[in-house]
Every structure is written in structure tokens, then in C-alpha cells.
Amino acid sequence: MNPIETIVLGGGCFWCIQAVFSDLPGIISVRSGYAGGYTDQPSYEDVCTGNTGHAEVVELQFDPIIISLEKILNTFFKSHDPTSINKQGNDTGTQYRSVILFTKDSQKPDIFQIIDKIQKRYTEPIVTEVVKLIKFYEAEPDHQQFFKKNPENSYCKYVIAPKLRK
């Protein structure tokens, strides 16, 4: 049996990140949620205030035999601007920050090694936070697989769809 690993990523709106990873081979599950803050049981409305410390994130469970952490992080960095502090497109605030929350201490050095490689593609420094996951809070059901359920939504058509084509 293959060991399943988990990593939590935030790079702007969780609808976008979830859509990017939902159909990649080796990704077993993708859940939208909140992490990295200090408020227990946050809601979408709470996180939107920017006062919870949480970011909009996705929890990825993956099979490292099929998809490597390096491929996941390369995809993650291509799907958002990791040089932008607390902002992705029109979404601004700490809840939209670029963040990688590792679940095993053994992931941490690999993450930094991958970021060092990826940094060579950018002229500005990568500002993505790398921290250990304390707690992941699953987002409300209407935020799960938002793009798949709402492809005609204007945000999906004009923000998510171009990211997927890229």
C-alpha cells in the first residue's frame, strides 16, 4: 500500500487552487478550507474579515509514487504570484497570502529546496510562507469544488478558467 501524504496550500482564492489540483493524476482529494490562523472553527465570513489570521487554503492528499511534492509545488507556483504579499489579482488581505503548510517535518527541507529552484524563474523574491500545519478547518459545502459546480459563474469564467488554460 502506498503511503498517502498531505500538504496544505494557499495562493489566493481557494476556488482557484482547488480547480487547479482537482484533476491532476496522483491527487487523491482536494478540500477547500482555512488554516494558519488563531480562530477556532472559522467560517467563510470570519476569514473574509482578515481578522482570523487564517488563509483560504486547499488540503491535498496525494500519492507520492504518482505525483511528487516537486510537481505539486511547481503547479502551485504557476497558479498564482508567489512574489505578491497578501494579494492575488483583485483579492487582497492576509487571507489570500501565499502559504505552504507542511504536515510532516520531513517535507520542510524538500519544500525549501524546491522553492530555491523555483526562485530562479522570478526577479522578485518569493514571499510564500512555509509553516507547519496546526489545524485545517474544512470550508462550507458550497465552497467545495466551486468551479466544477459553477463553471458559468463570472469569477469562474474570467479568473479560474484562464488559470486552468495556463
pLDDT, one tens digit per residue, over 14-50 is 999 999 999 899 999 999 999 999 999 999 999 999 9
Is 166 inside a domain boundary? no
Is 121 inside a domain boundary? yes
Alpha helices per DSSP H over the chain = 14-21, 44-48, 69-78, 107-119, 146-149, 154-155, 161-165
Is 60 inside a domain boundary? yes
| Identity at 7, one-letter amino acid code | I
The CATH number linked to 33 is: 3.30.1060.10
> What's the pLDDT band for 158 if we cut at 50, 70, 90?
confident
Closest CA to 70 of 100, 37, 110: 110
Q: pTM of the predicted model, to two decimals? A: 0.95
| Identity at 73, one-letter amino acid code | L
Is 30 inside a domain boundary? yes
Is 91 inside a domain boundary? yes
- Supply the pLDDT for residue 68: 96
Q: Rounded to whole angstroms, how far apart are CA atoms 34 and 43?
A: 8
Is 165 inside a domain boundary? no
- Supply the pLDDT for residue 150: 87
- Supply the pLDDT for residue 61: 98
- Supply the pLDDT for residue 18: 95
More confident residue, 159 or 100: 100
- Supply the pLDDT for residue 40: 96
**H or E segment to which residue 55 belongs:** strand 55-62
pLDDT tens digits, one per residue of 78-128:
999 999 999 998 889 999 999 999 999 999 999 999 999 999 999 999 999
Is 164 inside a domain boundary? no
- Supply the pLDDT for residue 2: 61
Is 115 inside a domain boundary? yes
48 is catalytic: no
Residue 94: Cβ within 10 Å count: 18
Domain extent at residue 122: 5-159
Count of structural domains, the chain: 1
pLDDT tens digits, one per residue of 118-155:
999 999 999 999 999 999 999 999 999 988 898 888 88
